[in-house]
Every structure is written in C-alpha cells, then in structure tokens.
Amino acid sequence: MEAVILAGGVGSRLLPYTAEIPKPLVPVGGTPIVEILLRQLKKAGVTRAYLAVNHLADQIMAVLGDGSKYGLEIKYSVEDQPLSTVGPLKLLSDLPEHFVVANGDILSDIRIDELYQHHLNRQADLTVATYRRVEKIDYGVLTADESGIVTAFSEKPNYDFTVSMGIYVFSRRVLEIVPERKPYGFDNLMLDLLARKARVISYPYTGYWLDIGRPADYAKAQEDIERIRHLLE
C-alpha cells in the first residue's frame, strides 16, 4: 500500500497552537499528530507515504525526514499555491492503482488495512470512512410553512449526521476528473463523482475518531490520552 497525507493547511481554526508550527506537528501526548498517523500506516502495511505540504513545509520536512525512522519511505509534494484537499493529488504522477488518502490532523484507531481491503472487495472508485455524529442544538427549533405559520417545534433537539472521517481509499482513475493546478476540494470531488454515477462506497466506523480542527478538539485529544496511548507506540 501507498498513502498520501494531506498536510498543507494553514490550521487557522486551531490558533493559537498553530501560530508557529503547522497543524500536523501539533503534539498529542508528546507526539506530533502526523507521526501517529505515519506509525498507523506502517502497521497497516504502507511502504511509501507522500506528504502534500504547503504552509510551513520546511518544518514538516525537517521533522519527518525521509521516513526511515518510521520504517517507510516519505516523499514530499510541495504546492506553490493552495490547492485545497484533492487538488494536490494531481501533482503526484506515480501513484498506484489504489491508494490511501488521509488528512494530517485526525486521530482514529481505524484499521487502515481493513478499510483498504473493503475498497478492493467492493471494486470502488472511492471509499470514504464515515462516522455517526450526534449534534445537540442548544435552541428551540421551529418549523414554519411559507405563510409563516409554525407547524412544529422541538426544544434543543439532537440531529444525527453521517460525516466523513477524513480518511479514504482512492482508485487512480478518479484523478482524471481533478483539474490541473487549480483548487479542488473533497466537496467538489464528491459532487462530480455522484453526478457521474461513480461507485462511491461508505465504510462506517464506530471506534475512536477525532478531527483536531479546533482548540476544543485538541483539548479533547489530550483528555483521551490514555484511551489512545496505543496509537502513540
């Protein structure tokens, strides 16, 4: 297996922790988030990882090096302009027929090898690891018709959502629709693939997952340190 780690974001939502270091290097339990992910990829059987970098790329390259200390090969793709989440994949010319893609700021104990095999078994164009989130709305929610008459009311309801975990398996043929050197996000890709009736498969997961996008998420990761300690090894 080969993998691409998306590590080019500015991380503005995670300020002040990202004021001087890129988000993938923010430590959890003393270990940079991206290093935890690299160790997981190695355990899953990944032999080569591409790091798509932009913001503070030199710091990431200096810390991770050539990957030998993790037992795999690391190559870098440096964007000369922000290309969003999927656009950087177009810069990589030697990707295999199927490959893992992961955001560089997620913590999860998902078995990446099982996700990869699921993708192959289902002959998917794209497989998306998904998670069920329950969000509580701290307001009274009203529903009204076009004339303004209230037809329903719910006090502080809970809503269920199925969300992307930020880890995927791509088939290389998907990249044919990605434009050259233009910003192109995962939202663009999903809409374009669905419009083409491509085979997009969900991989529901119920274990541990945390997207470290905000200070509250980062604090939660530190609180969960004992639960996720095995990810640090």
E strand or H helix that includes residue 115? helix 112-121
E strand or H helix that includes residue 159? strand 158-171
CA 87 to chain centroid: 14
Q: Which residues are catalytic?
A: 156
Residue 143 lies in a domain: no
pLDDT attached to residue 177: 95
Q: Are 174 and 181 in contact (CB under 8 A)?
A: no
- The domain in which residue 101 lies consists of 2-131+162-232
**What tens digit of pLDDT does each residue of 27-63 get?**
888 888 899 999 999 999 999 999 998 878 888 999 9
CATH of residue 126: 3.90.550.10
Peptide bond into 27 cis (omega under 30): no
Residue 17 has pLDDT above 60, yes or no: no
Residue 157 lies in a domain: no
| More confident call, 114 vs 215 | 114
pLDDT attached to residue 13: 60
What's the DSSP call for residue 179?
P
- Burial string for 189-223 (b: 16+ CB within 10 Å, else e) reads bbeebeeeebebbebebeeebbbbbeeeebeebee
> What whole-number percentage of the chain has pLDDT above 70?
95
Provide mean pLDDT across the span 8-22.
64
| More confident call, 18 vs 2 | 2
Domain count, the chain: 1
Residue 140 has pLDDT above 60, yes or no: yes
Residue 73 lies in a domain: yes
Residue 146 lies in a domain: no
Residue 230 has pLDDT above 90, yes or no: no
pLDDT attached to residue 212: 82
Q: Quick check: helix, strand or coil at residue 4?
A: strand
Among 68, 87, 69, 184, residue whose Cα is nearest residue 77: 87
Measured CA to CA in angstroms, residue 4 lies from 8, 100, 125, 192 at distances of 12, 6, 16, 21
Residue 15 lies in a domain: yes
Residue 200 has pLDDT above 80, yes or no: yes
Residue 27 lies in a domain: yes
Residue 80 lies in a domain: yes
Residue 37 lies in a domain: yes
Measured CA to CA in angstroms, residue 227 lies from 79, 100, 160, 165 at distances of 35, 25, 24, 19
Q: Are 103 and 79 in contact (CB under 8 A)?
A: no
User: What pTM, to 2 d.p., does this model score?
Assistant: 0.88
